[in-house]
Amino acid sequence: MKAMRIWTLAALVAALPAAAAAEAPPGVNVDYSIIGAETVKGKPVIDVQAGWPSTNFGYTLPLSPTSDLSLRFGLLYGFEGTTTSQFGLAFYAPLRFELGHGESMRTLLHVDPGLLFYTTQPGIFGFQFPVGLVFGFPVARGVEVGLGVDFAMSLLVSGNFAPRFVFGPLVGPYVEYHVNPQVTLGLNTRFGAAIDAYSSEGPIPGGTATNFAFTTQLVFGYRP
């Protein structure tokens, strides 16, 4: 039953780009995106992304006409995007680079290095360094739908110093709507796998475990 609910959610989310294109409101032209394929230009942007597996608070500022930097703090609810509930904290600094900015398609590369801490017993501390591509398609003034393709990577160390490397591919659609030049709303998703490669102490060897992982977050952004 739980798996059925997850796949039903995935099917509904996959239909969002088509729905946005068919019913897109007039919108406005802006020179930035939060989850899309355009970096922030001009004034910095603050945002909140809330859902599973975390709620993230961000501040993004431009580095150049085609790149930007975010400073982000996350409250984690799930372990590495899986359905396993676990509280934790994240501090990371995504870097985004525009690779292409056409009229009908935009492409962006992002790298999200940062630190993780889970409050499990014993505690788990680690480093994250996911990379990904975003393919954006403007469908109306101020409305962009697209697809994100990520490869998540985290190196984790527990209190007993047993290392774990969690990695896996994630793919999912998004939709972003600029209500006006200051306010942005959106929905960001990814679906894929979390492959947990771990080592064990003593005579028991390590191994791997693969779990379903996903991200589904509502997005609110504001540029003063």
Q: CA 34, CA 49: separation in Å to the nearest integer?
A: 10
Residue 163 confidence (pLDDT)? 86
pLDDT tens-place string over residues 57-100: 999 999 999 999 999 999 999 999 999 999 999 999 999 999 99
Mean of the pLDDT values across residues 147-163?
Answer: 89
Residue 102 confidence (pLDDT)? 86
CA angle 36, 39, 41 (to 5 degrees): 135
Q: CA 20, CA 5: separation in Å to the nearest integer?
A: 23
Residue 202 confidence (pLDDT)? 44
Q: CA 217, CA 219: separation in Å to the nearest integer?
A: 6
Residue pair 143/33 in contact (Cβ under 8 Å)? The answer is: no
Q: Dihedral, CA atoms, 81, 165, 127, 65, nearest 10 degrees?
A: -70
Residue 52 confidence (pLDDT)? 97
Burial class, 205, CB count within 10 angstroms (exposed 0-12 / middle 13-18 / buried 19+): exposed
What are the Cα distances from residue 91, in Å, to 14, 131, 144, 215?
29, 16, 28, 17
Task: Please give the domain boundaries of the chain with CATH numbers for all domains.
Answer: 2-222 (2.40.128)
Burial class, 79, CB count within 10 angstroms (exposed 0-12 / middle 13-18 / buried 19+): buried
Residue pair 94/70 in contact (Cβ under 8 Å)? The answer is: yes
Total residue length of the chain: 224
Tokens read off for 4: 């059925």
Confidence (pTM) = 0.84
Backbone angles phi, psi at 28, to 5 degrees: -140, 160
Tokens read off for 43: 């004034």
pLDDT tens-place string over residues 168-216: 999 999 999 999 999 999 999 999 999 999 765 544 455 788 999 999 9
CA angle 24, 149, 55 (to 5 degrees): 75
What are the Cα distances from residue 191, in Å, to 163, 214, 215?
25, 4, 7
pLDDT tens-place string over residues 1-54: 444 444 444 444 444 444 444 444 445 557 799 999 999 999 999 999 999 999
Burial class, 208, CB count within 10 angstroms (exposed 0-12 / middle 13-18 / buried 19+): exposed
The answer on pLDDT for 128 being more than 60 is yes
Mean pLDDT check: name the lowest of 18-27, 75-84, 120-129, 132-141: 18-27
